[in-house]
Each structure stands twice: as structure tokens, then as C-alpha cells.
Chain A
Amino acid sequence: MNNEKMINDLKEIITPYTENKEALNSITEQTDFLVDLKINSANLVDIILDIEEKFNIEIDNDSMAKMLNVKATIAIIQEKLAANAG
């Protein structure tokens, strides 16, 4: 799956939890969930659960630790998808 498609899928997932909706229009790999999108930290777990359902992957505690921005989150999803395929 290419990165652009992945960012769009991710955008769909994080939209309901985003306080700063305007920042969603300019989302890039560098976008930080808490700092830029003002997502409540208690909703990060919702995002992680939604990602697990959408991509049919399991995200462990160590992977979850890094999922603070778009880039790191996409890297984790790619890694888990690759592990599932292999």
C-alpha cells in the first residue's frame, strides 16, 4: 500500500478524535497527533484500536509507544502488514 493511500486511510480514522480540524487539511507525515491535531491522549488508544480493526493487525505495547505522529504510525502499520504477509 502506498503512503498517500495510507495517509488518507489514517486521516479517516483520526478525524473524529481531532480537535483541530483545520490542521487535518494540511496533514503530512510530520503531523503530530497531540501537538498539531490536539487529539486527547486518552483517544490515542481509540486510534490504535481503529487501526487494528481497519488493517487487521495487532499493535503491541512497544509499537504503541512510538505512535505519536503520522510517520511513525505508518511505519508501524507497514511493519505489521509485512509481518502478516510473511
Chain B
Amino acid sequence: MQHYWFGDVSDDGQCVQAPSDIAALASRFRSLHPDMAGLVVLSVDTAIACGWVPDRPEYIRRLRKVCIAIAEEEIATYYAQSDRELLQMVRMLDEMDSVVNLLSERATEWYIVRNPGFSRKYRAITAKKMVARMKGDSSTPLSRVAADIERISATRSALMRDVSSLADRVAPNCSALVGGLVAARLIAKAGGLRELASLPASTVQVIGAENALFTHLRSATPPPKHGIIFQHRRVHNAPKDLRGRVARVLAGKLAIAARIDYFRNEADPEFLESAQARIDGAGADT
């Protein structure tokens, strides 16, 4: 017996047609996983002999309808996952960061042309103050640009808070361990919560340090100790010789947290407490 999308065909050529509406055909298709070993590859002639369609063009027309309907549904389900938007938000955030930096650097150069005596040396002027100063240079083209840069930075800060709070909801355990922003960055780098949850801890440890990792694999440089998780205070505050250990422990707990987040999607206080204790313990010199 062969099971095709249009019906079941027995070995002696007897054929039972499937119901013909698209939704039923789509769900039939999903349930069919013929064994490749015993497979008799479909022939359109069989479908015609079966009385399913009069000719090949009609066969292809109907098959296309079903396939397009299935694909549309799968795509819709995929984008309905809660981490899809988070991914775009994190990437937009990083993009805005680099845009703001580029723009303010360029604007500073412009400002110096207009104010030849100016220098940033010995004055500790942050980029933000610099932009504010340029904006004060009343209603010139430069001040208009500076005002826009300020607006983008404001949008960026708001977006950062949004990312953090969305991450709290999408990945409560990861967010509790390393904060919403770092958790969101991990998810974005991994390509999604499901993807992060299926990574081994050793990979989680070096997500974001791909350059160092591949340089290490190609040549004799030391392996990276940490990637994005360096941003966690327990890692970057740890003394240099303990950082590797802290990063390793943190990554281990994060890998577990990601799995709890993906499969249960709720905070697990008991796990969080023991994980936190373990991470704090790893930083203590023994």
C-alpha cells in the first residue's frame, strides 16, 4: 500500500481517493511520512488512473494549491512564536548603536571644522554631551543633524528597555540569571529560544566570540573564555584567572535555564536560587 497526498494506492492498483478540500489534504499531507525503503515514487499517471484529476496540468494546479496553503500556514505558525519579534528588536538595537556612534563621530568632525579652536582632549566630553553641544549651535545644518542623533539615541534607550522587558517574558529564567538584555542578545545570536535551548553549554559560553573561537581553531591562539556572557557582572568582575571558571559555570546554568524557558516558559525559583548560589560560588577564590 502506498500513501500519496491524493489517496491510498494498493499494490494491485486499487485506489482510495482522499477527501478533496484543501484543509483536509493539508492535514493528510502532514500525517504522511512514507517509509523511504518501501516507497514507490509517485507517478502522476497513477493519480489520473485513480480518477483524481483528468490530466497533468490539473494535477499540478491542485497540488500547488495544497502546497502553497501548507507553506503559508507553517510560516504563520513560525512567526507567531514569541521570540521572533525579540530577535528583530535586538538586531535593531545593535544596528542603532552603531548608527548613533557613526553619526556622532562624523558630526564631531564637522563641529571641529566650524570651531577650529576646539579639542576634546583633557575635557572628558562624552559623545552624548558632544551631541548636546552641537545642537546648541543654533539652527545650523549641523544642529539639525545633532537633534536627530539625540532623537535616535532616545529611541534606542526606549528600545533597550522594551527588549529587556520582552526578554523577561520570553525567557524568564535566562533573564533572571544574566538580565534581560544579555539574555536577549544570547537568544538573538543563537537564532531563537529553541535554538539556544538546543545548544551545549560550551557553545553558550562562547556565543559572541566567534572570531576568537575560529582563530583558535585555525591557529594556535588560546580559546576564548567567554562571549556575550562577559557582559554579566560575575564574569567581568571576576579576577582574570577565575573568569574562565565563572564563565563556564554560568554558561552551564544558562544552558539549563534556556531549556526550562523553552519547554516550560515560566520562572523556576528553586532552580534559580541554586544556580545563582553556584555561580556566586564559582567566583569566590578557593
Asked if chains A and B come from one complex, the reply is no
Taking Cβ atoms with an 8 Å cutoff, the residues of A that contact B are: none
